[in-house]
Amino acid sequence: MFNFALRRLPGHGRRGAGRAVRRATDRAMNRATKARHTARWPALIPALVPIFAAAPARADDTPPDATLPTVSVNASATASAAPRAVDPNLPASVETVTREQFSNWNVVNTEDVLKYMPNLAVRKRFIGDLNSIIAVRGTSNTQSARGLVYADGLLLSNLLGNSYSFPPRWSMVSPDEIQQVDVIYGPFSALYPGNSLGATVLISTRMPKQFEANADVKAFTQHFSLFGVNRNFNGSEASASIGDRIGKFSYRLGVNHLENTSQPLQFATLAQSGTPAKPGDTPVSGAYTYNNQTNTPTTVLGVNGEGIEHTVQDQFKLKMQYDFTPTLQGAFTLGYWHQTYNSETSTFLRDADGNPVYSGNVSIGGYHYTIPAAAMAPSLGHSENWLYGLSLKTRNASGWNGEAIASYYDIGNSVARTANAGGPGNGPGTVLFGDGTGWKTLDLRATYTPAISQAGLGNHALSFGYHYDNYFLDNESYNTLNWRDGAATSFANAFSGKTQTQALYAQDAWRFLPRWKLVYGVRYEDWQAYGGTQSLPGTTLRYGDASQQHFSPKASLSFDVNDDLTLRASIGRAYRFPTVSELFQGQINGFAIVNNNPNLQPEDALSKELSAEWAHWNGVFRFSLFQDDVKNTIFSQTDTTVIPNVTNFQNIGKVRSRGFETSYSGENVFVHGLDLIASVAYTQSKILENAQNPASVGKYFYRIPLWRANLAATYHFDARAALTLAARYSGRQYNTLTNTDTNPNVFGGTSTYTVVDTKFTFKPTKLSEIGVGIDNLFDARYFVYHPYPGRTFYMEAKLRI
């Protein structure tokens, strides 16, 4: 065993620790290599190196009690709170946030722990939002299939579609159980599929070392005013957990209850009319006017569609582990998540007698308007979701290891109801059933890692494995006479389909010179789409099966300039295959079925990155240059070259995204007790080829801000009290492919914004903690088409045993 101490470790259990451990491990191997093989390295270069892959020692791969090389850290913490090492052989930029750090932020939902990551944003419209999508580098916040989220190796990514409607299932993880989150930028590792084109998020949860019980209660409120809405919106969350380790067996059981009411998410609008009022129009008052995102005068009628959403969410999570031997561990995960929502709508319009008006022919300011019946139609729904996971893995510190992980995500009960018209009452509507939708996965992996003390020139860290996933969608819509709770009557429409991917991959991390390392690999993927159907009463369209097979080579070359500075160049090809909904789930207008596009080609990306990582000034700096050239980008757009125009998912010829990121993470910065994370990123994403919409060529791609910047500073007064002040900035971006939204900072646009957050935490005793925080301190009004929350106050109390 090779003993070493970490130098300039940016904090035990904090964001920089994962990267520092990874760098220190790599430096130790480098020093061992130089000591043993400097004089004879040429003779040890193999004539032919087999293509294998180094298993990433992710947080879910290295349990806290695994036998590891000795690491000296100048801090004290329980074993369950120790940071878990990030694999030193990852061929990409990695950013880490740990439990100790995000405990000083305003965190209610799991995705909140990512809020200050470099060049990354979460489209979270309110606390409890079901559509929280990550956006990173050249991936926008509607391209959900370009990101992967794992929790302890279980895939949480909802690859049934590629839009805001298909977010990762964050709800299967409670913030209280998270130990560490690692974000891997780009598709440079052969261990992950092409959906890693944006980023891969690895969530590691903690397991108890002894008996523990925890309780956490939060309350939050915001005051929101816009157009005809001016009121408070309140919510609360309560969670509790219990766990223990009894001999070789450990378990953790957690429950969580969230209830919240959002600010209005969407307003009913009509273009300002120039037609004089007509006989029979109902004169109404209460409307608002503004210039929309294209600077078109617009009339606001009320709160519509998604409206003011009241959500109730309940979570149950059980995780059990058993150590069959000191190096063989099995685990079982059972997750249950139930949610209900009720979208409240309202009208601003009143007739001469003060009665609300929801639809019909009206006169506003002397001009004629026709308001559709469904303009302010409410909706509600509920769903039950189950996650089952099994894993078996060995935990040798070096040599050979293996793991098998299987998961099944089941949407067992899903109902969405929508009224046909606005206003009170229980009139007719539609009901959508999504039962039987979900996905299942299987991952088998074998790895070989040389011992640090035996590391030398020609040594290889190897990994190879097999991946399988199967996604299946089954939606059926019916008409109903009572939209709130009535039985289904006549059949309206249905969509169904499946995709399946099988992959083989191999990767090798080879130190061929004392300071040089090459990580290279290849991934082979066999993708199939089948069972696609779209139905109307008496009519069913069945689509032919589709299949694609592709190889995705990867390579990364790194050079240790010295013990503190590493340079790396990475390149990789990735294929992002179409999802079920992109292929088969279309729209139905009257008796016409408009399919999406069962002939879609996969996105073909060539990604490149140059990066430098420097341990200095009590922290770690990173600077990265990146470029993604993506052919056949899949996006919903209008084909303007045919008459009539067709809007559906199409392949855009080529989109290029390039830019830079710089980040810093450190502790005791400038003064003792001040921890700091900061980042600035620039991304230029442009459409270079688009045969279906020539007007978009040369324009900026959809919702990719030119600049992003984050800053979070936490000052620890002592071991009991800390104050955090943070800021998030997002620059100019466009909500259309043709960049016609010239007035972005309004409802319907996508804002440039600066938001400031703060939180004060205090521990009255070793077993208790209270927190008071504010998000959006200066009550900025900003939009992602929908309004984001206003100034939000938090109060929190924690108790543990």
How many Cα neighbours within 13 Å face the side chain of 685?
24
Residue showing tokens 């990719």: 704
User: Is 80 exceeded by the pLDDT of residue 210?
Assistant: yes
Cα Rg of the chain, angstroms: 27
Query: Which amino acid is residue 385, in one-letter code?
Result: N
DSSP string, 654-699: EEEEEEEEEEEEESS-SSTTEEEEEEEEEEEEEEEE-TT-GGGTTS
Give the lowest-confidence range in 422-431, 495-504, 620-629: 422-431
Q: What is the dihedral of CA 125, 127, 133, 134, to 10 degrees?
A: 100
What is the helix (H) or strand (E) element at residue 16, kind and residue range? helix 15-37
Tell me the pLDDT tens digit for each residue of 641-665.
988 888 889 999 999 999 999 999 9
Tell me the pLDDT tens digit for each residue of 113-151.
999 999 999 999 999 998 999 999 999 999 999 999 999
Q: Quote the pTM value.
A: 0.89
Average the pLDDT over 288-314 and give the result: 95
d(Cα 83, Cα 78) in Å, to the nearest integer?
10
Nearest to 752 by CA among 743, 765, 740, 764: 743
The greatest distance separating any two alpha carbons of the chain, rounded to the nearest whole angstrom, comes to: 98
pLDDT level of residue 585 (50, 70, 90 thresholds)? confident
User: Is 60 exceeded by the pLDDT of residue 348?
Assistant: yes
What is the helix (H) or strand (E) element at residue 91, kind and residue range? none
pLDDT at 194: 96
Taking phi over 0 as left and psi of -120 to 50 as alpha, with beta for the rest, 174 belongs to beta
Asked whether the beta carbons of 409 and 452 are under 8 A apart, the reply is no
Q: Which long-range contacts (CB under 8 A, 24 or more apart) does 568-571 make?
A: 568/91, 568/609, 568/610, 568/611, 568/612, 568/613, 569/608, 569/609, 569/610, 570/91, 570/92, 570/186, 570/188, 570/607, 570/608, 570/609, 570/610, 570/611, 571/188, 571/606, 571/607, 571/608, 571/609
Tell me the pLDDT tens digit for each residue of 32-82.
444 443 333 333 333 323 322 333 333 333 333 333 333 333 333 333 344
265: its two tokens:
């998410």
Give the lowest-confidence range in 303-307, 472-476, 610-614, 736-740: 303-307
Sign of CA dihedral 776, 779, 782, 784: positive
Q: Which residues of 750-765 are buried (b: 16+ CB within 10 A; e: fewer)?
A: bbbbebbbbbbbebee
pLDDT at 788: 97
d(Cα 559, Cα 292) in Å, to the nearest integer?
51
pLDDT level of residue 455 (50, 70, 90 thresholds)? low
Residue showing tokens 């789930």: 585
Average the pLDDT over 369-392 and give the result: 96
Average the pLDDT over 107-117 and give the result: 97
pLDDT at 590: 42
Provide the percentage of residues in the chain whose pLDDT is more than 70.
Answer: 87
- Domains plus CATH for the chain? 4-263+302-347+377-449+456-800 (2.40.170.20)
More confident residue, 152 or 539: 152
pLDDT at 436: 87
Mean pLDDT of the chain: 89
d(Cα 20, Cα 564) in Å, to the nearest integer?
10
Q: How far, rounded to the nearest angstrom, does the alpha carbon of residue 726 sit from its chain's CA centroid?
A: 21
